[in-house]
């Protein structure tokens, strides 16, 4: 059920009144742009006589299978904040459908810019791209101090025993149900299966760690956004996802997510983790990232093709499947030739 702003104001005011223990009046509720899995709404309110701005986050009617429900994403957000990751301050979560029509959570509004196309046109931002990447890498390093068994994260389920091969199996199972064959993806999956690293200690992964989910303002990283795909995974997994060619947007030449050099991201990560990244693991998770995004792009365009969620954005994501197939195969060819990755 879609959120109806006019009808939701009073129930939301009651919810916030109880959650914050203060008088509340919701003065505005406006949908924000962006997001292909969750919807974000700017929520303006007067709390105990003070004007405040929040973001309300709720799931779409048609999402992706591994997207966390709002209360579980809220729990991840709180855990990340507790270890010093820069995130929007979590306020309260609601699992009761009767308030807005679906579970949701509320967090503080963060000023800044996250749209890559705007940031990449900002000379001031790009001139300090490596410095920003060090900050971003440090945020990821702090996040990875959270391990299975952490309080409040039961909704993430049991950590996988063989992280890489379990991901391969999940993608292969989806392809087996798909209408059309994708031999390039199947080849990449077989390579990933054969060359999978041994079982490693799982850490908390963001799951969609990329330029576009980072809020930047005032020359610094303000917040890491969009935690609905968080899960237990490999420590190198989010590093590969951030540097994927597809998510470099208008600057494919900048291997650090379209913002700067990959080496700067790794420096920040190393400073927070206290260990050096494994270059072999990084190259492996580069290939995994491109293969996984090829499969995700099939899943995203299926939401559009089904007719349940007509969306030009989802349709365009589907056009990226062939690009991801080519990139994964190119990286595999480089591995077979004994090459490395760009800085």
Q: What residues contact 154, with CB distance under 8 A and at least 6 apart?
A: none
Q: Is 253 helix (H, G, I), strand (E, B) or coil?
A: coil
User: What integer best gives the mean pLDDT of the chain?
Assistant: 93
pLDDT in tens, 25-50: 999 999 997 665 678 999 999 999 99
pLDDT in tens, 116-130: 999 999 999 999 999
Per-residue pLDDT band for 301 (boundaries 50, 70, 90) equals confident
Q: Is 275 helix (H, G, I), strand (E, B) or coil?
A: coil
* Rounded mean pLDDT, 295-300: 91
- In this predicted structure, what is the pLDDT of residue 340? 64
Would the pLDDT of 136 be above 80?
yes
What does DSSP assign to residue 50? E
- Is 29:79 a contact under the CB 8 Å cutoff? no
- In this predicted structure, what is the pLDDT of residue 314? 81
More confident residue, 107 or 37: 107
Phi, psi of 94 (to 5 degrees): -140, 125
Q: Spell out the domains of the chain, with CATH numbers in brackets.
A: 5-108 (3.30.200.20), 111-159+202-277 (3.90.1200.10), 161-200+279-343 (no CATH)
Percent of the chain scored above 90 by pLDDT? 83
DSSP 126-195: HHTHHHHHHHHHHHHHHHTT--TT-TT-GGG-SPPSSHHHHHHHHHHHHHHHSSS--HHHHHHHHHHHHT
pLDDT in tens, 220-255: 999 999 999 999 999 999 999 999 999 999 999 999
Q: Which residue do the tokens 């998510």 mark? A: 247
Name the CA dihedral angle for 305, 309, 313, 314, rounded to a multiple of 10 degrees. Answer: -50
The least confident of 23-37, 71-85, 269-283 is 23-37
How far is Cα of residue 270 from the mean position of the Cα atoms in its chain? 21
Q: Is the pTM of this model over 0.85?
A: yes
- The token pair that represents 29 in the structure block: 């509720």
What does DSSP assign to residue 32? P
- In this predicted structure, what is the pLDDT of residue 135? 98
pLDDT in tens, 163-209: 999 999 999 999 999 988 999 999 999 999 999 998 899 999 999 99
Per-residue pLDDT band for 302 (boundaries 50, 70, 90) equals confident
Per-residue pLDDT band for 67 (boundaries 50, 70, 90) equals confident
Cα–Cα dist 142/273, whole Å: 7
CA distance between the termini of the chain: 46
């Amino acid at each position: 059920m879609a959120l109806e702003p006019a009808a939701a104001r009073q129930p939301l005011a009651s919810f916030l009144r109880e959650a914050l223990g203060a008088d509340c009046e919701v003065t505005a509720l406006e949908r924000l742009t962006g997001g292909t899995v969750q919807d974000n709404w700017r929520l303006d309110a007067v709390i105990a006589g003070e004007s405040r701005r929040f973001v309300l986050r709720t799931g779409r009617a048609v999402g992706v299978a591994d997207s966390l429900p709002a209360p579980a994403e809220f729990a991840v957000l709180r855990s990340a904040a507790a270890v010093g990751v820069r995130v929007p301050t979590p306020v309260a979560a609601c699992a009761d459908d009767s308030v807005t029509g679906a579970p949701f959570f509320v967090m503080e509004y963060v000023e800044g810019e996250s749209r890559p196309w705007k940031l990449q046109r900002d000379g001031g931002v790009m001139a300090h791209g490596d410095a920003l990447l060090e900050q971003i890498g440090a945020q990821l390093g702090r996040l990875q101090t959270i391990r299975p068994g952490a309080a409040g994260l039961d909704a993430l389920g049991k950590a996988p025993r063989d992280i890489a091969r379990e991901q391969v199996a999940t993608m292969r199972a989806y392809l087996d149900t798909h209408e059309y064959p994708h031999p390039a993806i199947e080849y990449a999956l077989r390579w990933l299966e054969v060359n999978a690293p041994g079982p490693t200690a799982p850490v908390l992964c963001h799951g969609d760690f990329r330029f576009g989910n980072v809020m930047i303002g005032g020359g610094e990283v303000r917040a890491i956004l969009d935690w609905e795909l968080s899960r237990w995974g490999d420590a190198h997994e989010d590093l590969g996802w951030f540097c994927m060619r597809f998510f470099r947007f208008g600057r494919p030449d900048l291997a650090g997510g379209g913002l700067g050099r990959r080496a700067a991201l790794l420096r920040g990560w190393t400073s927070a983790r206290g260990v050096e990244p494994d270059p072999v693991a990084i190259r492996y998770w580069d290939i995994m990232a491109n293969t996984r995004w090829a499969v995700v792009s099939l899943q995203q365009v299926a939401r559009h093709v089904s007719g349940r969620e007509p969306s030009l954005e989802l349709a365009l994501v589907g056009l990226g499947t062939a690009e991801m197939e080519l990139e994964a195969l190119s990286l595999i060819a480089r591995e077979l030739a004994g090459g490395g990755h760009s800085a």
